[in-house]
Amino acid sequence: MNGTTVAEQAADALAKLHAYGWQTENDVLHATHYRFATNAIAVTYSNSYGRFSVADNVCGFSMANTDAAGNVVAQNPIAQASIFSTGNGVPPTTGVNLVYNDSLGGARQDLLAVSPSTQALDYALDGAICHRNLFEGHDIVTGAPLTGAKLQASQRVREGIREVQATARLKNTPAIIVQGRSDTLVPVNHASRAYYAMNQAGAVGVSQLRYVEVTNAQHFDSFLPAAPFPGYDSRYVPLHIYLIRALDSLYAHLKEGKPLPPSQVVHTVPRGGAPGAAPALTGANVPPIEGDPAAGARITFSGSTLFVPD
């Protein structure tokens, strides 16, 4: 990372994210999405792809209840009894947090962990690098090939990824993809846009897949209430309503023969107001998926290029 000050290093890091495919719409969400999702998703996905046991502690990570200082503590029996219905299996959930076992000083919640290589509070950077190494198949810091147990773990993860990779060939099956443009956990350039373009390239003019991209919408509708994330309420609209609308459109197509809506960008209107005290949501904030959107809102594909309007 380039720069001699924290501000310069932060600007350089953000520029690298932009170059990699994240958009400016994602800028203000990196902190909260990383804090509450990115590390846990990397850990749970690596474990799933590689079919590891919870006892393997891949890259030094495990899951446990922690106290305010990040130290591991016993689970509350009452919370444990209800965790199947209140938790989703991905920390933080129902008191269970992601823990970096290899933190200096002993196992500690990841956001309070001290990496051995840096001796700094850096959100378990060493563990994050380890997980990236599993995907890349080499050490991303030194460039050296992985060996021994690390190589075997990487091979298992990479094989698991290959087994679930999508082809985007839907065989003319009607479908609608909906995603929020501000999604920072799964950026549109790495997900829906890429999938839709691949589908269109393989079924020019005949595909029944549609793509609806919603502005001012992101991955976590549960963050929209004023607490504990003030600013989500004033900046973002719920995405779930567009899932329901897309399902209604698909149902009407299958049952009544109505045409699927064209691929389009739905331009929503944030509620605004003071962060944490946004005015009530109205229909004007969440306009419909149009059956005949304006030309300036249509998502199109030509040759080998996907065109998504601003």
pLDDT (mean) for 241-261: 98
- Predicted confidence at residue 228, as pLDDT, reads 78
Query: Do 150 and 33 share a domain, yes or no?
Result: yes
Phi and psi angles of residue 107, each rounded to the nearest 5 degrees, phi first: -55, 135
Inform me whether the pLDDT recorded for 226 exceeds 80.
Answer: no
Integer Cα distance of 57 and 66 in angstroms = 17
- Predicted confidence at residue 1, as pLDDT, reads 72
Domain of residue 116, residue span: 6-163
Under DSSP, is residue 227 helix (H, G, I), strand (E, B) or coil?
coil
- Predicted confidence at residue 79, as pLDDT, reads 86
- Predicted confidence at residue 89, as pLDDT, reads 85
pTM: 0.92
Angle made by CA atoms 113, 114, 120, in degrees to the nearest 5: 130
26 Cβ neighbours under 8 A, 6+ residues apart: 17, 182, 183, 184, 187
- Predicted confidence at residue 99, as pLDDT, reads 97
**Contact call for residues 156 and 48 (beta carbons, < 8 A):** no
Q: Tell me whether residue 1 is in a domain.
A: no
**Contact call for residues 73 and 106 (beta carbons, < 8 A):** no
Mean pLDDT, the chain, rounded, equals 95
- Predicted confidence at residue 229, as pLDDT, reads 87
Q: What DSSP character marks residue 128?
A: H
Query: Do 48 and 141 share a domain, yes or no?
Result: yes
Integer Cα distance of 269 and 210 in angstroms = 22
DSSP H helices in 104-220: 125-136, 148-164, 192-202
What are the DSSP calls for 53-97, one per residue?
A: -GGG-GGGEEEEEE-TTSBEEPPPHHHHHHHHHH--SSSSBTTEE
Inform me whether the pLDDT recorded for 205 exceeds 80.
Answer: no
pLDDT (mean) for 203-229: 91
Query: Do 78 and 132 share a domain, yes or no?
Result: yes
**Closest listed residue to residue 181, CA positions, set 293, 290, 270:** 270
Integer Cα distance of 41 and 265 in angstroms = 28
Query: Do 181 and 142 share a domain, yes or no?
Result: no
Q: Which of 117, 143, 163 is the last residue of a domain?
A: 163
pLDDT (mean) for 20-47: 94
- Predicted confidence at residue 203, as pLDDT, reads 84
Higher pLDDT, 38 or 87: 38
Q: Which of 108, 133, 163 is the last residue of a domain?
A: 163
Total domains in the fold of the chain: 2
162 Cβ neighbours under 8 A, 6+ residues apart: none
pLDDT (mean) for 84-101: 90
How confident is the model over 179-202, as pLDDT tens digits? 999 999 999 999 999 999 999 998
Confidence of residue 158 (pLDDT cuts 50, 70, 90): very high
Highest mean pLDDT among 74-78, 191-195, 222-226: 191-195
pLDDT (mean) for 74-79: 89
Higher pLDDT, 172 or 141: 141
